[in-house]
Amino acid sequence: MSKTAIFPEPKSDAESEEGTVFAPKFDAHGLVPVVATSATTGEVLMFAYMNEEALARTIETGEAHYWSRSRASLWRKGEVSGNCQRVVEMRTDCDQDAIWLKVETAGAAACHTGRRSCFYRAIPVGASPGGGVSLSFVDAERQFDPEAVYRHAGAAKGTLKSSE
Amino acid sequence: MSKTAIFPEPKSDAESEEGTVFAPKFDAHGLVPVVATSATTGEVLMFAYMNEEALARTIETGEAHYWSRSRASLWRKGEVSGNCQRVVEMRTDCDQDAIWLKVETAGAAACHTGRRSCFYRAIPVGASPGGGVSLSFVDAERQFDPEAVYRHAGAAKGTLKSSE
């Protein structure tokens, strides 16, 4: 677990679970996993990570900030695409090692592929996966053209994930 | 990234994002993060991890299985508490390194503390976190008494996380 400067050191299990002191647990890479859901529809929009700074900026500004592992940099959601996320509610879990954001998205999309959610494919349930699992597209309509949106930003193809 | 036996090797970015072959990306520990939401209310119930076997069993049985990092073992959700999760829908994200489960819980609780969701505390937004962040309890009513439920299972205190 990484030592942090802004937030207090993680507490005992009992204090983490039943206390009111926010003392988040960052993993060995200094990151905490984050789930963002739509405050309107409740659907899961994306899954990403925050480092200490991204977490602090999100709390302070009410705008979702993440840590881009592919680019190794702080990332204000929507800084390229315009699909910013205003935090409507923010929660932590029992052991304070995960974050849930309920957000309103400025644009229609949360995914860098142009979809509303990153979770636009269903995994079929009920058969052995040994023979191969075929995904089906659901809610997969593009809200924007990723080529058009990202090419003007000078962003190198393949370095953008989860709708930077 | 770990090599797996059941699922195919991860594909190129383009194939991962736009293909129908499920080729999940496991992290260096052989795990993939999972968000479980209530199929009824849409709320986020818990955040956990699956290894390859947990993912395969979940797909095959339609019952949520996870990998317990604290106990280093496969864990069928609810095997101790009875709060099993039937998978109503299962999705993967754009780069196939996260899973979203919509579930129906057999009992009323998803959290090992007895709450419906593990995310029973809100983080206030809009002030600098430097001076300390005080969590507030929301939707935090206990649906069961964790002491009563887990002590009969011979489970060592402190080794159960996220509602085993």
Measured in angstroms, the CA of B134 and the nearest CA of chain A are apart by 5
Highest mean pLDDT among A49-53, A69-73, A144-148, B155-159: A49-53
What digits encode the pLDDT tens for the residues A65-112?
999 999 999 999 999 889 999 999 999 999 999 999 999 999 889 999
**Residue B115's beta-bridge partner residues?**
B142
Q: Name the band, by pLDDT with cuts 50, 70 and 90, for residue A160.
A: low
Nearest-CA distance from B127 to chain A in Å?
A: 5
Range A149-154 average pLDDT: 68
For residue A133, give the chain B residue with the closest CA.
B22
d(CA B115, CA B135): 16
| pLDDT given at position A159 | 47
User: Residue A123: which of B37, B90, B120 has the nearest Cβ?
Assistant: B90
Cβ distance B126 to A92 less than 8 Å, yes or no, reads no
Q: Per-residue confidence at A3, pLDDT binned at 50, 70, 90?
A: low
**pLDDT tens digits for range B42-75:** 999 999 999 999 999 999 999 999 999 999 999 9
Containing B121, the helix (H) or strand (E) segment is strand B121-122
Beta-carbon separation of B91 and A125 below 8 A: no
Judging contacts by C-beta atoms under 8 Å, the chain B residues touching residue A110 are: none
Q: Average pLDDT for residues A150-156, to the nearest whole number?
A: 59
Where would I find the H helices in A21-141? Answer: 52-61
Cβ separation A6–B129 shorter than 8 A: yes
| Dihedral over alpha carbons B138, A50, A27, B56 (to 10 degrees) | 80
Mutate to test the interface with A, among B43, B61, B83, B100 (most CBs of A within 10 A): B100
- Strand pairing class (B99-105; B32-38): parallel
| A126–B44 CB contact, under 8 Å | no
Contact A129 B91 (CB under 8 A): no
Antiparallel, parallel or unpaired: β A32-38 and A44-50: antiparallel
* Cβ neighbours of B109 in A, within 8 Å: none
pLDDT beneath 50, residues of chain B: 1, 155-159
What is the chain A residue with the closest CA to B17? A113
pLDDT of B89: 98
Ranges of beta strands (E only) in chain A are: 32-38, 44-50, 65-68, 73-76, 85-92, 99-105, 121-122, 136-137
Of B20, B127, B158, the CB nearest to A134: B20
**Interface contact flag, A60 B115, Cβ < 8 Å:** no
List the one residue out of A52, A39, A46 whose CA is nearest residue A86.
Answer: A39
How close A33 gets to chain B, by Cα (Å)? 8
Sign of CA dihedral B107, A135, B48, A36: negative
| DSSP state letters, A112-136 | TTSBSSS--EEPP-SS-GGG--B-E
- Cβ neighbours of B6 in A, within 8 Å: 129-130
Q: What is the pLDDT of residue B1?
A: 47
CB contacts of B14 in chain A (<8 Å) are: none
CA quadruple A102, A107, A112, A113: dihedral sign: positive
- pLDDT bucket at A148, cuts 50 / 70 / 90: confident
Give the pLDDT confidence of A10-45 residue by residue, as tens digits.
999 999 999 999 999 999 999 999 999 999 999 999
Amino acid residing at B17? E
DSSP class of A144:
S
Which of A123, A121, A118, A143 is closest to A133 using CA atoms?
Answer: A123
Among B61, B60, B65, which Cα is nearest to B31's?
Answer: B65
Residue B119: which of A91, A132, A158 has the nearest Cβ? A91
Instruction: Output the pLDDT for position B71.
Output: 92
Give the pLDDT band of residue A4 (cuts 50, 70, 90): low
- pLDDT, residue B159, reads 47
Look at A129 and B158 and tell me if their CB atoms are within 8 Å.
no
Give the chain A residue nearest B140 (alpha carbons): A18
- Which strand (E) or helix (H) includes residue A148? helix A146-151
- Count other Cβ atoms within 10 Å, centred on residue A148: 9
